[in-house]
Structure 1
């Protein structure tokens, strides 16, 4: 197969073993070519500018900036960029954010090789691809009211072990305002207390420790 009809791929992951695995799988495919690799978000943006790949495989968690932030930057460089997010399995909030930011596909690192190749080909052909288990996770929370940016900040601070008074001074808001945010957070997440709210937030990928 000639180079001009090969799918040119950029692989982004901070784990060398994962990148090696992806490289080995792609090397066996006559219609694909791994043209570049990156281990950080900023490196991914740089490689994308240099190589202009057809498809980018982007790890969700990177050591400097997140895969989603890298995706946003890449789509600012080229709004037609085709990016597949690669993850072990995150919560629905992160999946939703990635799709809103323009990801064309979502790929679990545990998926069989054949499925990975199919996803790359589908996305290259201009189609979206989300694994059924990921789609089911998203469907679970359809119609629910999402947390505001400020509520997410408050929840992150609660997860860090901060009391209302600490959060008020950290975010330059009154303690009464913090209490209001905490009430809203618990109501929206269906949590009975702060600990449960943090547990739900972590599980759904809204916040990170």
Structure 2
């Protein structure tokens, strides 16, 4: 494709991404040294980028040593992969936020592993330049989950298992909250839509996670759809 018309748009998204990363301590892990070099050069000098790696073991060490709170990674790494990296990173620090860029969307096991590990955002490399990473960072920073449009459908078409049944039946209100989680709504947005407090939403989310055995909002949404508890979001 002719990428020339996107040059100014990309620059705008890079600036937005810099603003979103300012409050964080970021470790970037990418299998492409070119992509990693471009990311490093695009991030403004400052404290936010505390580590960069091309393989899983080094990224894990950096996350811990640098006390990072945000992981940006690709599914393909020189050693290991993004799915297992997210899983190990979340075990190491459950409070860590993780956003993964999928370069090989047909390798569904990697996506599945990342989602089930508690990945907070999943983007497609094919949408890079369109603001997908900036949008993911915006959504995750607001406390919601982010999944690229079209990735939900591709994920479910490639994985037919429905997983374990919930530990307990979800209440009607919990199903309402889960439906909005699947639509990438934040707790504040859910509270406003359902006319309840954000604290009440937080309590419902905790119960949903427990009953579904979910590790993140994205994981809960995936499980809810696979189990038929909620509908596909209209914009998917």
Q: Normalising by structure 2, report the TM-score.
A: 0.52
1:118 equivalent among 132, 135, 139: 135
CA shift for structure 1 position 5: 5.8
Larger Rg: 1
Query: Where do 5+ consecutive residues of structure 1 fail to align?
Result: 147-209
Q: Number of residue pairs matched?
A: 143
SS of the residue corresponding to residue 70 of structure 1 reads helix
Given that 2:90 and 2:118 are in contact with CA atoms closer than 8 Å, whether structure 1 keeps it comes out as yes
CA shift for structure 1 position 25: 3.6
The residue aligned with 2:100 is 85
CA shift for structure 1 position 56: 0.5
CA shift for structure 1 position 141: 4.8
Task: Please tell me whether residue 22 in structure 1 is matched to residue 39 in structure 2.
Answer: yes
1:26 and 1:120, CA in 2 relative to 1: closer, same or farther beyond 3 A?
Answer: farther
The residue aligned with 1:57 is 72
SS of the residue corresponding to residue 56 of structure 1 reads strand
Distance 1:35 1:110 in 2: 27
The residue aligned with 1:108 is 124
- The Cα RMSD (Å) is 3.0
Given that 1:59 and 1:86 are in contact with CA atoms closer than 8 Å, whether structure 2 keeps it comes out as yes
Distance 2:134 2:121 in 1: 12
CA shift for structure 1 position 117: 1.4
SS of the residue corresponding to residue 43 of structure 2 reads helix
SS of the residue corresponding to residue 146 of structure 2 reads coil
Distance 2:95 2:140 in 1: 11
1:84 and 1:64, CA in 2 relative to 1: closer, same or farther beyond 3 A?
Answer: same
